[in-house]
Amino acid sequence: AIQVTQSPTSLSASLGDRVTLTCRASQDINNKMAWYQQKPGEVPQLLIYYASTLQSGTPSRFSGSGAGTDFSFTISHLQSEDFATYYCLQGYSLYTFGAGTKLELK
């Protein structure tokens, strides 16, 4: 089974900051990486799929990149509604979620 290592586990940042999260797959997954946002008590929301394709409705301050085994997710200018937990998901061979990154206000 493909393992996915997401980092960091938690991150403190300020409004307006640029933050980057990373996920590493245990083998080449081409571009089959997706990113989700989940706020407490809410359902996960798909933000990006195929590593860099923005899901309809995803604000342009969110972006994704990478291929093969290494992927990154960036929020260019943090807004208050962005503080949440983010998960990556590999969809190349079955599905594996990363452990999540909790983004908190500094």
Residue 89 interacting with another protein (CB under 8 A): yes
In angstroms, the Cα distances linking 59 to 9, 93, 94 are 23, 28, 28
Q: Which is nearer to another protein, 16 or 57 (CB)?
A: 57
Cα(105)–Cα(80) distance, integer angstroms = 8
Per-residue binding letters, 49-68, with another protein (x by CB under 8 A): xx----x-------------
Residues of span 23-42 touching another protein by CB under 8 A:
32, 34, 36, 38
Question: Are 20 and 73 spatial neighbours (Cβ–Cβ below 8 Å)?
Answer: yes
Question: Are 83 and 105 spatial neighbours (Cβ–Cβ below 8 Å)?
Answer: yes
Q: Which is nearer to another protein, 17 or 100 (CB)?
A: 100
Provide, rounded to whole angstroms, the least separation between the CB of residue 95 and another protein: 4
